[in-house]
């Protein structure tokens, strides 16, 4: 958070890094502006003013903490140990109060969500009542007449149409893209989802009898043909592929090709199913990136930290074993000890920053 970054900059300035002052001023300005944006709104930060009076009062109570940091910066107060301790305590108290405010906002948000859910349930109940009414007073009489006519059809016609309708209903209710292709690469059927996606990408409604390759991206044609041919030879093929709809837009799909046979066991074509797995793949990639960051942090803790610690322990052991050393030697080893402590401090800061960054990414 910004309040924690201010602490880091104060410590860096104390450690003779005056060039960090500009970053300190920039971070403080953003911190203060964000605080004001929460209370009054700020279009540049895309912040809307909080409309809860209790929360606004708690946010107002944070003003002294911001004012304290502002005085330290404007008056260029010396950053001795006492002042750094006061700054740390000020920021810790600010964070504690801010966490309480966030908790209050979450409770308020949950209350609003609860009301919306209740409203949705009431609407659903009303819709169900309307459907029941239509079934009893509209559809039931019509269905009775249709059933009388339907019974006059032959048993074979009934079985064929029922099977066809069930199959089409199943395909159209699926969220997957499903296309049935004959042995000559002609389209036999397309479910609703696949038709909608083809329309969106190609601006054209697919028709039975067209070549399936009219709707295959050129970059994927070779791979698609190879897998389709294998399915037409009786093989079941499953793969995952990132399809680029445009140079800047891609979607991960699980692609399934399997042979289709008629009732007599004769192969009549192949079914192509494309399942959207983009969310899962993106989540897996994010987890892999987080694991790499965790491995880097673990490596720093087990290797980079060990080096300065070992040097410090070695210097201390040497000084303990040496009964008397001259002032120059003593100064030399004190300088070495100071440098190793600074190096250890920098490594610890880097680990903390990476940990905070990783935690923020996991929360997002």
pLDDT score recorded for residue 165: 59
Domain 175-276, architecture per CATH: 2-Layer Sandwich (3.30)
What distances in angstroms separate CA 256 from CA 183, 233, 271, 272, one per listed residue?
17, 14, 8, 6
Tell me the mean pLDDT in the region 118-127: 74
How does pLDDT run across 54-82, given as a tens digit for each residue? Answer: 888 888 888 888 888 888 888 888 888 88
Give CA 191 to chain center in angstroms: 30
Are the beta carbons of 220 and 304 closer than 8 angstroms? no
pLDDT score recorded for residue 156: 56
How does pLDDT run across 177-195, given as a tens digit for each residue? Answer: 889 999 999 998 998 988 9
Tell me the mean pLDDT in the region 309-327: 75
3-state secondary structure labels for all residues of the chain: CHHHHHHHHHHHHHCCCCCHHHHHHHHHHHHHHHHHHHHHCEHHHCECCCCCHHHHHHHHCCHHHHHHHHHHHHCCCCCCHHHHHHHHHHHHHHHHHHHHHHHHHHHHHHHHHHHHHHHHHHHHHHHHHHHHHHHHHHHHHHHHHHHHHHCCCCHHHHHHHHHHHHHHHHHHHCCCEEEEEECCCEEEEECHHHHHHHHHHHCCCCCCCCEHHHHCCHHHHHHHHHHHHHHHCCCCEEEEEEEEEECCEEEEEEEEEEEEECCCCCEEEEEEEEEECHHHHHHHHHHHHHHHHHHHHHHHHHHHCHHHHHHHHHHHHHHHHCCCCCHHHHHHHHHHHHHHHHHHHHHHHHHHHHHHHHHHHHHC
Give the chain's mean pLDDT: 79
pLDDT score recorded for residue 164: 54
Percentage of the chain beyond pLDDT 90 is: 12
pLDDT score recorded for residue 270: 93
Q: Is the pLDDT of residue 233 over 90?
A: yes
pLDDT score recorded for residue 219: 85
pTM for the whole structure: 0.38
Q: Which residues contact 253 (CB under 8 A, 6 or more apart)?
A: 177, 240, 241, 243, 274, 275, 276, 277, 278
């Amino acid at each position: 958070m910004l309040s924690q970054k201010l602490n880091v900059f104060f410590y860096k300035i104390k450690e003779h890094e005056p060039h960090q002052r500009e970053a300190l001023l920039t971070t403080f300005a953003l911190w203060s502006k964000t605080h004001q944006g929460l209370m009054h709104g700020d279009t540049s930060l895309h912040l809307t003013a909080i409309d809860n009076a209790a929360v606004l009062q708690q946010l107002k109570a944070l003003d002294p903490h911001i004012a304290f940091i502002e005085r330290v910066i404007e008056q260029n107060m010396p950053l001795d140990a006492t002042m750094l301790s006061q700054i740390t305590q000020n920021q810790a108290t600010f964070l504690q109060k801010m966490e309480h405010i966030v908790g209050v906002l979450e409770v308020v948000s949950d209350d609003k969500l609860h009301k919306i859910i209740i409203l949705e349930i009431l609407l659903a109940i009303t819709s169900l009542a309307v459907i029941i009414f239509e079934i009893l007073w509209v559809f039931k009489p019509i269905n009775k007449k249709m059933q009388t006519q339907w019974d006059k059809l032959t048993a074979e016609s009934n079985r064929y149409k029922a099977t066809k309708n069930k199959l089409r209903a199943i395909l159209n209710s699926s969220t997957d893209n499903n296309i049935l292709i004959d042995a000559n690469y002609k389209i036999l059927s397309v479910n609703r989802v696949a038709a909608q996606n083809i329309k969106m990408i190609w601006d054209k409604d697919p028709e039975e009898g067209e070549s399936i390759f009219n709707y295959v991206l050129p970059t994927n044609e070779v791979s698609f043909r190879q897998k389709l041919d294998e399915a037409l030879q009786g093989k079941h093929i499953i793969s995952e592929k990132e399809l680029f709809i445009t140079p800047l837009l891609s979607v991960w799909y699980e692609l399934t090709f399997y042979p289709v046979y008629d009732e007599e066991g004769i192969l009549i074509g192949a079914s192509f199913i494309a399942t959207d797995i983009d969310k899962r793949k993106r989540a897996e990639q994010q987890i892999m990136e987080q694991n790499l960051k965790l491995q880097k942090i673990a490596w720093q803790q087990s290797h980079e930290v060990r080096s300065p610690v070992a040097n410090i322990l070695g210097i201390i052991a040497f000084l303990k074993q040496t009964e008397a050393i001259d002032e120059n030697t003593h100064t030399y080893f004190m300088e070495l000890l100071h440098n190793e402590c600074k190096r250890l401090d920098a490594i610890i800061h880097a680990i903390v920053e990476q940990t905070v960054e990783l935690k923020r990414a996991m929360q997002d």
